[in-house]
Structure 1
Amino acid sequence: MKIAVVGGTGLVGSQVVKVLRENGHEAVPHSRSTGLDLLDRKGLPEALAGADVVVNLTDSPTSDEASLTFFRTTMDNLLSAGASAGVGHAVALSIVGADLVPGLVYYRAKVLQEDLLKAGPLPYSIVRASQFFEFMETVLSWTSGSETVRLPATRIQPVALADVAEAVAEVCAGEPLRGTRNIAGPEVFALDELGRITLAERNDQRSVVTDNDAGIYAVASGDALIAKSDAIIAKSTYRDWLARR
């Protein structure tokens, strides 16, 4: 099966390409570095020529209002070109609970991307993943000081990027879901607790201060970012992942 992996040279995409190839598929990575620009359609017909499946793993360069325009334009362009190329299955990666956090513009933009895919001309699948383990360093950096890190007690269910790549690859190789598959890690943490675990593992002497107004995840309430009962629960635990790193 020939699978066009748009965003295939990035953090997620490169791992998806690796898994697909290990499973015997012809996975072809496409990105700006290979000559593809989804915003102006440059290289798009060539990228999709002969593809059975296209998976969209691109990300907006910003998380502000411009992300809405980015996801609208890129998804419209991809679906139009996919239909013209005869692609039989379009897959997109999104976020667990994206529709439950309207206070985040970026999450609204991901929901828009999902809605465009659902209403589009191609049979589709959506994979929603919870926050990546690998993203924790970035989360810590947003509200870090010399002696403290401020984090909200928002509940999250983080997952290893490698487990997400496996889930995306499995969906790409299967029949279109015409729906959504969720994947999350095996443990639920308060974000401030996860920060303490991370700093302790790194022997970072800073303390974590619980501040429910700190960072972007402060706007997520209750179990908005927790996977529902139908989700796939990955095996990798956060502490094991930290130890391997």
Structure 2
Amino acid sequence: MPVFASAALRSSVVSQLRSAGCVFAEDEARILLTAAATTAELAAMVRARAQGRPLEHVVGWAEFAGLRIAVDPGVFVPRRRSEFLAAEAARLAGPGAVVVDLCCGSGALGAAVAATTGRPVELYAADLDPMAARCARRNLAGTGARVFEGDLFAALPDALRGRVEVLIANVPYVPTGEIELLPPEARLHEARPALDGGTDGLDVLRRVAAAAPQWLAAGGALLFETSDRQADGALAVAREAGLAAAVSREEELDATVVTATLG
């Protein structure tokens, strides 16, 4: 914590954040006090957070799977529940596995897989959003990953067809009609395409699942996150695409992941 951060200053920051409705005011105050280099910078950060900007956009990074992931303004903030998706993907990634992080956002999932497998993987990532792709390049620097910008599989090199062993697709799955129910920090400060999954929240998943068999290697797996109430519909989408699908859940993180395998 910076030397300027007295107990009185810390208490003031906590009070301001609580007044703004921040549920985890003490934790957020700790992060802001650590991130700010001066009292003036701290004041600007606290003001931005109190006005509703996501904490991760204010400080420029998010904690994810033990990593510090750079998150630029407007880029989707990796959620802690997605650590389960990263862990499931890492479990399936053998030595030298071809891993694709589709709808990669900041690249957090790919970075977590690369960091936790304990063995080299051949990693690719892609996102439609240019800001997200730039962010992912920073977070995946040093992993040997190649990051592409474009719409789903159209962004990837054609040479990957039939070679992908682990396909991570953290597709948006919030139904369009429920976007307005999201917290303002997500609804107002994250790119809508990273949130909006269409009428029933499964539209982007349908596109990914339909094309996945062309890109997966034999025995390769598509892994994606969904909500518990959408799990049955997501399973049906994967099975209609010819994939053998099963659901895994992690109660502590409130995470639901579908693993869909090409036979």
After TM superposition, is the score higher than 0.5? no
Indicate the structure whose relative CO is greater, using CA pairs within 8 Å and at least 6 residues apart.
1
After TM superposition, the score normalised by the length of structure 2 is 0.36
Larger radius of gyration: 2
